[in-house]
Amino acid sequence: MKLTINGQVKAFDSSLNLHELLASLSLEKTPVVVELNKEAIFPRDYSTTSVTDGDKLEIITIAAGG
């Protein structure tokens, strides 16, 4: 399965939900905003939202600053 993440195509062996995808990218404990095919996804929905071949994601990490 191929996904476009932040403009870069990445290949994955199997279908995933967003939580599993974030874990595979080592982002499961990082505060992020996820947009799937131009639709923002609530964090509570990550484990029930599947990604499929050809999906486009934008993943933005949230960092506190001052």
| Full set of structural domains in the chain with CATH | 2-61 (3.10.20.30)
Residue 56 reports pLDDT greater than 90: yes
Residue 65 reports pLDDT greater than 80: no
Nearest to 13 by CA among 29, 26, 27, 24: 24
pLDDT digits (tens, 9 = 90+) for 3-46: 999 999 999 998 899 999 999 999 999 999 999 999 999 999 99
Residue 51 in contact with residue 25, Cβ under 8 Å?
A: no
pTM of the predicted model as reported, rounded to 2 decimal places: 0.89
